[in-house]
Amino acid sequence: MQPFIIKRRCPAQDTLCKAIPACPREAIRYVADEHEPLGGVIVFDYDKCDGCGQCAQECCGSAIEMR
Ligand code: SF4
Ligand code: SF4
Protein backbone atom coordinates (compact mmCIF):
# COMPACT_ATOMS: atom_id res chain seq x y z
CA MET A 1 0.00 0.00 0.00
CA GLN A 2 1.12 3.52 -0.81
CA PRO A 3 -0.37 6.93 0.01
CA PHE A 4 -1.82 9.17 -2.69
CA ILE A 5 -3.14 12.69 -2.36
CA ILE A 6 -6.69 13.45 -3.39
CA LYS A 7 -5.91 16.99 -4.47
CA ARG A 8 -9.45 18.33 -4.42
CA ARG A 9 -9.64 17.61 -0.69
CA CYS A 10 -6.20 18.95 0.25
CA PRO A 11 -5.55 22.65 0.87
CA ALA A 12 -1.79 21.94 0.65
CA GLN A 13 -0.75 23.97 3.65
CA ASP A 14 2.87 23.54 4.63
CA THR A 15 2.58 24.71 8.24
CA LEU A 16 -0.91 23.30 8.92
CA CYS A 17 -0.48 19.88 7.40
CA LYS A 18 -1.01 17.12 9.98
CA ALA A 19 0.34 14.40 7.74
CA ILE A 20 3.88 15.75 7.41
CA PRO A 21 4.75 15.54 11.13
CA ALA A 22 2.81 12.27 11.47
CA CYS A 23 5.11 10.40 9.11
CA PRO A 24 7.72 8.43 11.08
CA ARG A 25 9.98 8.17 8.03
CA GLU A 26 9.99 11.82 6.93
CA ALA A 27 8.59 10.73 3.61
CA ILE A 28 6.15 13.63 3.16
CA ARG A 29 6.94 17.18 2.26
CA TYR A 30 5.38 20.30 0.89
CA VAL A 31 6.61 21.54 -2.46
CA ALA A 32 5.79 25.05 -3.64
CA ASP A 33 4.65 24.98 -7.26
CA GLU A 34 3.33 28.04 -9.00
CA HIS A 35 1.52 25.84 -11.52
CA GLU A 36 -0.68 24.36 -8.80
CA PRO A 37 -3.94 26.27 -8.13
CA LEU A 38 -3.13 26.47 -4.41
CA GLY A 39 0.52 27.38 -4.89
CA GLY A 40 1.92 24.06 -3.78
CA VAL A 41 1.35 20.39 -3.27
CA ILE A 42 1.99 17.66 -0.70
CA VAL A 43 4.29 14.98 -2.10
CA PHE A 44 5.47 11.55 -0.95
CA ASP A 45 8.91 10.05 -1.23
CA TYR A 46 8.07 6.46 -2.11
CA ASP A 47 11.65 5.35 -1.54
CA LYS A 48 11.31 6.27 2.14
CA CYS A 49 7.64 5.34 2.62
CA ASP A 50 6.92 1.92 4.11
CA GLY A 51 3.15 2.13 3.68
CA CYS A 52 2.32 2.38 7.39
CA GLY A 53 -0.75 4.56 6.80
CA GLN A 54 -0.10 7.02 9.65
CA CYS A 55 -0.38 9.98 7.29
CA ALA A 56 -3.81 8.90 6.07
CA GLN A 57 -5.01 8.54 9.66
CA GLU A 58 -3.80 11.98 10.72
CA CYS A 59 -4.73 13.91 7.57
CA CYS A 60 -7.36 16.43 8.65
CA GLY A 61 -9.07 16.49 5.27
CA SER A 62 -9.28 12.75 4.52
CA ALA A 63 -7.18 13.69 1.51
CA ILE A 64 -4.77 10.77 1.64
CA GLU A 65 -5.82 7.45 0.20
CA MET A 66 -3.87 4.22 0.70
CA ARG A 67 -4.00 1.93 -2.29
S1 SF4 B 1 -3.31 17.25 6.55
FE2 SF4 B 1 -4.06 16.27 4.67
S3 SF4 B 1 -5.51 17.75 3.77
FE4 SF4 B 1 -4.23 18.86 5.26
S5 SF4 B 1 -2.55 19.69 4.04
FE6 SF4 B 1 -1.86 17.73 4.89
S7 SF4 B 1 -2.32 16.21 3.31
FE8 SF4 B 1 -3.50 18.07 2.82
S1 SF4 C 1 2.40 5.65 4.71
FE2 SF4 C 1 3.68 5.97 6.58
S3 SF4 C 1 5.77 6.10 5.82
FE4 SF4 C 1 4.42 6.38 4.06
S5 SF4 C 1 4.20 8.60 3.86
FE6 SF4 C 1 2.48 7.86 5.11
S7 SF4 C 1 3.15 8.03 7.26
FE8 SF4 C 1 4.98 8.19 5.94
- Nearest ligand 1 atom, CA 17: 6
7 in a domain, yes or no?
A: yes
64 in Cβ contact with 18 (< 8 Å)? no
55 is in which domain, residue-wise? 3-60
Question: pLDDT class for 58, splitting at 50, 70, 90?
Answer: very high
Q: Is the CB of 40 under 6 A from ligand 1?
A: no
Question: What is the residue-wise DSSP string for 36-62?
Answer: STTSEEEEE-TTT-----HHHHH-TTS
**CATH number assigned to the domain comprising residue 20:** 3.30.70.20
The count of domains in the chain is 1
Percentage, residues of the chain above pLDDT 90: 100
In a domain, 45, yes or no: yes
Question: What are the residues facing 44 on neighbouring strands?
Answer: 28
Q: How far is the CA of 61 from the centre of ligand 1 (A)?
A: 6
- List residues bridging with 4 in a β-sheet: 65
Residue 67 lies in a domain: no
Residues 31 and 20: their CA atoms lie apart, in Å, by 12
3 state DSSP class of 19: helix
Query: Considering the entire predicted model, what is its pTM?
Result: 0.95
Q: Is the CB of 56 under 6 A from ligand 1?
A: no
Q: Is residue 55 included in any domain, yes or no?
A: yes
Going by pLDDT thresholds of 50, 70 and 90, the confidence category of residue 53 is very high
